[in-house]
Each structure stands twice: as structure tokens, then as C-alpha cells.
Structure 1
Amino acid sequence: MLERLNQAMEYIEDHLDTEIDMTEPARIAATSEYHFRRMFSALAGLPLGEYVRRRRLTLAGAEVLAGTETLLDIAVRYGYGSGEAFARAFRALHGVGPGEARRTGAALYSQPRMSFRLVVEGSSGMRYRIVEKDAFRLVGRKARVPLVHEGMNPAIVEFTQSLGKEELGRVAALSDQEPAGLVNAADDLAGRREEGSELDYYCAAVTGAGAPVPEGMDVLEVPAGAWAVFEASGAFPQAVQYLWRDVFTQWFPSNPYRSRPGPEISRTVISPDGAEAEAELWIPVERTAG
């Protein structure tokens, strides 16, 4: 798996000056594009699309400083349809426009090439089970929120607080199967997991496929399929954050499964003093070939 990931990264590096069809590096890594993007994001700490953008602008920055080609030629080579679009992206990464950088020889940002290497981990193990679930419903309240990669998501905090304890209790009472009680779910992520991409965030309960939906509540129909279920307990919020990280950086590379499209569901029970938590994470999965 590690060798295939690095071959996929080599392919991306060789095609930074062309339009990259991400199904090809996913094919090289012997997985789906969806899972390849999820794996990369978990391992690298940033979305694949953002990494490609930074690498292209890093190479473009070197060519801008070299001064041998026009700025428009450089812009077109790295996928920008106009000098204005290139200048905006260049400034967003480097903090200075390309023209000014060329005139002054300004210091620029450099995104290094990424490769993956083996680090011996996993001594603590992970608790998990595979559950085959019939079709079900997520019933509750939904908000469209931006994706935030680090720290608390203000939009989610505001949404949850706006519901109030009474409404959250009304939602939790609808639960009639596992994961039991009030759960959180993320679905329908727009774009390619870049910062600011929008997703549907649910405070919901899991119910049968034919269960009634109370007036004023939202519903997400979830088809039948396999789910990998992970459990963790410990200090809050570290135990929850580490669980998400370990699933994609340790469990997937070590097991014959890959993630598939579908809502990612979590259930967290926090101790009265807010110091400890028990977490359960449900990820839709499918077995890999071979």
C-alpha cells in the first residue's frame, strides 16, 4: 500500500502542468478516488486539491523569479485561465503578487513534495467491528455548514446551541436502533474537501427506513451497506480527535476495506465535568478486491 501511494504521488508530481484526472492516481494506489482523497487528507493533514494547488504555485513561483517566461505563459501552464486569476491565487499563497515578486525578488512560500514512509505504530490497538445494516433513516435537524479542518467549527457550534436541550431531547427520543441516541452526521460534502467546502451536518437519530418523520424535522435516507464501527474513550476532545485520525492513518492501511460515499456518523457521550468522553464512530465501508 505504501509503495502504491508513493507511485500515485509521483504521478501527480509529473502532471502538475496538466489537468490531472484524479481517478488515475487512485487507480495506481489500487483504490477508489473517494477513498484516495480521504486517505490523503488524513495522512497529509490537508486536502489533496489544496496540496496540488500549493505544489503548482510553488513551481510557478520559481519560474516567476527566474524571469525567463511571461507571467501569462506561466499562468496558463499551471491551469489558470487568466493573468488575474493567477495573480489572485499567487498572492493568496505567497503573500505577494507575481509581478511584484519578479521585480523585487521577494521571498516566496514553498510547498515541499510529499511522500509517505513507514513509521512503526499501532502498539495500542483499536477496537472495531463490521456491521451490515439494512437501509435506515437519519431523522433530526440539518444545517449546511462550511468545512473546517482545524479547531472548533463555529457554524456547527452555533447550530447545535440554537437547537436547545429540549429539541435535542426530542430528536434523541426518535432513536430505535444503533447507533443509539443522539448522533452527529456529515454528508453531501461539496467540492473535494477543501477548507470552506459546504456539507450537510445533522443532529439526528437513527430510525427504521419506514419510520415516520415528525413535522419540521429533516430526513436523510441511507441505503443498506457495511459500516466499520470504532470505539474510544479518554480525555475530551483528544480521544475523539485521535479516533478520527487513527481510523484513516492506521486502520484502513492495515485492513481489506476502503471508505465509500455515505454519511459519517459519530456518537459522543461526555462526562458531567466535560473532561472525559466515550466516542463511537460509524464509517461506511466496502471490502477491497483481493
Structure 2
Amino acid sequence: MNWVHRMNEVISYIEDHLTDEISHERISKIAGCSIYNFQRMFSYIADKPLSEYIRNRRLTLAAFDILNSTERIIDISLKYGYESQDAFSRAFRNYHGVLPSTVRNETVQLKSCPKLSFQMTIKGENHMNYKIEQFPAFKVAGIANQINTSEAFEIIPQIWENAWKNGTMDRFFKLFEKVDYRPAGVLGISEGGQWGNSEEMNYIVAVTNHVDLPTCNHVSPPEGMEEFSYPGSTWVIFEANGELPDAVQKVYKQFYTEWLPNSGYQLANLPVIESYMPENHQEVWIAIVKN
């Protein structure tokens, strides 16, 4: 099953479950990656978060139900997953600009969010600097933060802000006096958990403290830090040089919309690693396997 087909299979699954529970576990299994990776992928391709797309699709169908049926608004609210009519009315007004009751009594303008469909296109507007490398097993020393995947995009910037404020970054800089290993710099590691167990994830701020090579010395994690191990794997490593966060976001968008669909690879069930180095030099490490 190719990458584009997987994306469309997820959209079909969502469409079939807009009036009941949408399982992150099921999305992970269809997409072949963690829910966090899929949410990231979706946001760059569709230019909106997955949660927003699902909400907008439900409110689009709810508007059709109000217009074309005699169902009570409270029943339509419950049908699309809202616990109360008040909550539904607020969401409906935020999206459509009018209250549900107004739709039944007046001629009003409404919004429509169509069902998405993904197709492979070859653009080639901007080149990407990358290499594919079979990298040995390695270890990192760092601090893990367990977060809900649905809140990841809001919480991760706060994690970095706190790391600068609470002295964590100073401790990493001292660790650099003992290590100079790849992946280099201070790492942001998104561990989405095993596929199908994805309601929570770890976001780890870390430094590489060992690579499984004869010439590499193992450096123990400083007090208060944990050690995390990753197996040898094939990684595609992209340069993401430039001002943050735009430089890294540009890489993700091109990776998901251009590189991955045309590459003959798919995502491996391993973390995504962002490597932050001095002078606006960054790398993005993404584990891949042949289709």
C-alpha cells in the first residue's frame, strides 16, 4: 500500500466515523506511523491541524442536517459528539458565524469544509539537501516530557522555553565538553509510542552521549537525566539551515508533500529527531524503510 493510498484510507476512515468515535489507534494502523507523526504530516499537507479538519467536517455535515431535516438541534449536537447544545452552538457559531437556530429561521451564508483527497504531484520548486545514511545504534542523555499527542504542538514550544529558564540548557552545554557525537547539538526527539498506543507521547530534550562505534566512549547521563537508546536504522537527514521555526517547518512541508511520496520509502516506527546546532544550523532526522 503506497503512501498516498494510506493517506486517503485515513480520510475515508474519518469520513465513515464523523458521527461516532474516531480512534487515534486506528488512524495509526492505517497510516503506518504514530499518531503524532501523522498529525504533523497532515498539518503540513492540508495547512490545518487534523483536529480542526475533523471538527470542520462535522460542523459542515451538521449544517446540512439542520437545513434538510426536522431533527432537534440537541439531537444533532449529540450526533456529532457534543455533550450539550450550548457547546455545539458555540462551535457552530465560531465556524459558520451564525447560531444553529438561525439557520432554521433565516436565509444565511454557511461555510463548507469538503472531504479531502490526496494525490501525488511533482513540484520541484525548491531543492532539498539530504542524505540517506545507515546509522548505528546510539544513546542520548536527556529529559523526557510525557504529553498528550493532541496538545503536542502547543506544549513543545513551552518545553523549550522552560529548558532555557530552568538551567537545563546550561547543563547540556557542560555535557558538550565531554561529547561531540551525532546526531549533533541539542536534540528535540518526538517519540510517538508504538503504533496503536498513541494517545500519549514523549518529547525528549537531549544530547547524544554514545554511538555504537569502537572509537566512541560512553558518557554517563548527568544527575537528573535519563538515558534513551535507539537501534541502528536507515535515516534520511535533511539540512534545515536558517531562522527558526520557518527553516524546520519548510523541511517538514517539503518532506511530506514532495520527498516522501516520490521516494520509494515509508516512515519507520522510530522517533523524529530535530538537531539544533549553533549559527542557525539544524538537521531533521527521519527514520525510513523501503516500501
Q: TM-score range by the shorter chain?
A: 0.7 to 0.9
The Cα of 1:111 is off from its aligned counterpart by: 2.7
Q: Which has the higher contact order (CA 8 A, sep 6+)?
A: 2
In structure 2, relative to structure 1, the CA distance for the partners of 1:147 and 1:112 (3 Å cut) is: same
CA contact under 8 A between 2:4 and 2:120: conserved in structure 1? no
Measured on the aligned residues, the alpha-carbon RMSD in Å equals 4.0
Q: Deviations over 1:167-204 (max 9, x none)?
A: 2312334535311233222224799999xx87423133
Alignment of 1:20-169 (within 5 A): 20=22, 31-32=31-32, 34=34, 37-66=39-68, 68-80=70-82, 82=83, 84=84, 87-92=86-91, 94-95=93-94, 100-101=101-102, 109-117=111-119, 120-144=122-146, 146-148=151-153, 153-163=157-167, 166-169=170-173
Match of 2:223 among 187, 208, 215: 215
TM norm structure 2: 0.73
Distance 2:74 2:89 in 1: 12
Aligned partner of 1:264 in structure 2 is 272
CA contact under 8 A between 1:172 and 1:205: conserved in structure 2? no
Q: Deviations over 1:116-142 (max 9, x none)?
A: 356542143322222333332220234
Distance 1:89 1:32 in 2: 33
In structure 2, relative to structure 1, the CA distance for the partners of 1:193 and 1:108 (3 Å cut) is: farther
In structure 2, relative to structure 1, the CA distance for the partners of 1:260 and 1:49 (3 Å cut) is: farther
CA contact under 8 A between 1:16 and 1:78: conserved in structure 2? yes
Distance 1:153 1:174 in 2: 27
Distance 1:280 1:180 in 2: 9
TM norm structure 1: 0.73
CA contact under 8 A between 2:190 and 2:201: conserved in structure 1? no
In structure 2, relative to structure 1, the CA distance for the partners of 1:58 and 1:245 (3 Å cut) is: same
CA contact under 8 A between 1:184 and 1:204: conserved in structure 2? no
Q: Which runs of 5+ in 2 are unaligned?
A: 213-217
Please state whether the residue corresponding to 1:261 is helix, strand or coil: strand
The Cα of 1:241 is off from its aligned counterpart by: 2.4
The Cα of 1:248 is off from its aligned counterpart by: 1.6
Q: Deviations over 1:78-97 (max 9, x none)?
A: 345x4x2x642552353389
Match of 2:289 among 267, 286, 290: 286
Aligned partner of 1:274 in structure 2 is none
CA contact under 8 A between 1:172 and 1:182: conserved in structure 2? no
Distance 1:60 1:109 in 2: 11
Letter in 2 for 1:254: N
Match of 1:179 among 165, 179, 183: 183
Distance 1:236 1:25 in 2: 30
Letter in 1 for 2:11: M
The Cα of 1:229 is off from its aligned counterpart by: 1.1
Question: Percent identical across equivalent pairs?
Answer: 29
CA contact under 8 A between 1:168 and 1:182: conserved in structure 2? yes
